[in-house]
């Protein structure tokens, strides 16, 4: 009789474990299906983009300043184009390092880097109207 009760308990535990892992697999499958749908949607957005790469001309220019300060909250883009993906939103009065500058469609863009604890998405492009103060070094007084 003891062995029969032990066998029933073992079957109940096994059924519970199987049920638990089945639910985990089901949730993973649903998440995978959702991510696949989102990925396909993003691919369609990229493929339907009207911008053609042969129409873009980048004119790199030397910059007179090594540092600056963000005037208003602005978007940090992955490339110097208004419709390029946004990496993050930069806060007002953020100190930045100016790495490079380029003219695209008669607009000046700066490649910048800012301090971040994680160094994730801390480098990208902003348009020139987002920088209010330019500095030649970090300790120099601001030029307005």
Summarised one tens digit per residue, pLDDT across range 6-41 is 999 999 999 999 999 999 999 999 999 999 999 888
143: in domain: no
Task: Encode pLDDT of 80-127 as tens digits.
Answer: 988 888 999 999 989 999 999 999 988 999 999 998 888 888 899 999
67, 36: one domain: no
User: Where is average pLDDT lowest: 3-7, 17-21, 51-55?
Assistant: 51-55
Give the pLDDT score at 143: 47
Domain harbouring 122, CATH code? 2.30.30.170
Q: How far apart are CA 80 and CA 93, in angstroms?
A: 21
140: in domain: no
Contact 101, 109 (CB under 8 A): yes
86, 106: one domain: yes
Q: Which domain holds residue 103?
A: 53-135
57, 109: one domain: yes
Predicted TM-score (pTM) above 0.85:
no
Question: How many structural domains are present in the chain?
Answer: 2
Give the Å distances, CA to CA, from 111 to 7, 48, 119, 120, 129.
69, 27, 15, 15, 13
């Amino acid at each position: 009789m003891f062995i029969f009760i032990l066998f029933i308990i073992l079957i109940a535990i096994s059924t519970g474990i199987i049920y638990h892992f089945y639910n985990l697999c089901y949730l993973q499958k649903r998440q995978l299906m959702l991510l696949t749908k989102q990925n396909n949607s993003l691919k369609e957005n990229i493929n339907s983009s009207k911008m053609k790469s042969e129409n873009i001309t980048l004119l790199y220019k030397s910059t007179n300043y090594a540092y600056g300060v963000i005037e208003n909250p602005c978007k940090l883009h992955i490339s110097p184009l208004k419709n390029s993906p946004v990496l993050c939103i930069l806060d007002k009065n953020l100190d930045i390092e100016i790495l490079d500058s380029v003219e695209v469609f008669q607009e000046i863009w700066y490649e910048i880097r800012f301090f971040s604890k994680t160094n994730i998405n801390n480098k990208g492009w902003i348009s020139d109207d987002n920088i209010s103060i330019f500095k030649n070094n970090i300790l120099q007084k601001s030029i307005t």
